[in-house]
Amino acid sequence: MNVWDMVFKNGNYLFTEPEWCVRRFAELAKIRNLNRILDLGCGAGRHVVFLAKHGFETHGLDISIEALKICQSRLKNEGIEPLLVQANMSDLPYPNGFFDGVIAIAAVYHLKLAELKQTIDEIHRILKPGGLLLIEFKSKQSHSYGFGVEIEKDTFVQVEGVETGIPHHYSDRPEIETLMSKFNIFEINHLERISEGIYRSSKWEVWAEK
pLDDT 10s digits, 1-36? 689 999 999 999 999 999 999 999 999 999 999 999
Within a domain: 115: yes
Within a domain: 165: no
pLDDT tier, 117 (very low <50, low <70, confident <90, very high otherwise): very high
In 47-198, at which residue ranges do the beta strands (DSSP E only) sit? 57-62, 84-86, 99-104, 127-139, 149-152, 155-157, 167-171, 184-195
Q: What is the CATH number of the domain that holds 11?
A: 3.40.50.150
Within a domain: 101: yes
Q: What is the mean pLDDT of residues 83-89?
A: 97
Strand partners, 164: none
161 vs 188, higher pLDDT: 188
Within a domain: 70: yes
Could you tell me the residue range of the domain that residue 177 belongs to?
3-140+170-209
CA distances (Å), origin 188, targets 110, 122, 137, 204: 20, 21, 10, 7
Within a domain: 145: no
Instruction: Provide the domain count of the chain.
Output: 1
pTM to 2 decimal places: 0.96
Number of other residues whose CB lies within 10 A of the CB of residue 174: 8
pLDDT digits (tens, 9 = 90+) for 162-175: 999 999 999 999 99
Within a domain: 149: no
Number of other residues whose CB lies within 10 A of the CB of residue 46: 22
The whole-number pLDDT of residue 194 equals: 64
Helix 46-53 to helix 20-31 angle (10° resolution) is 30
Within a domain: 81: yes
Rounded to the nearest integer, the mean pLDDT of the chain is 95
Within a domain: 96: yes
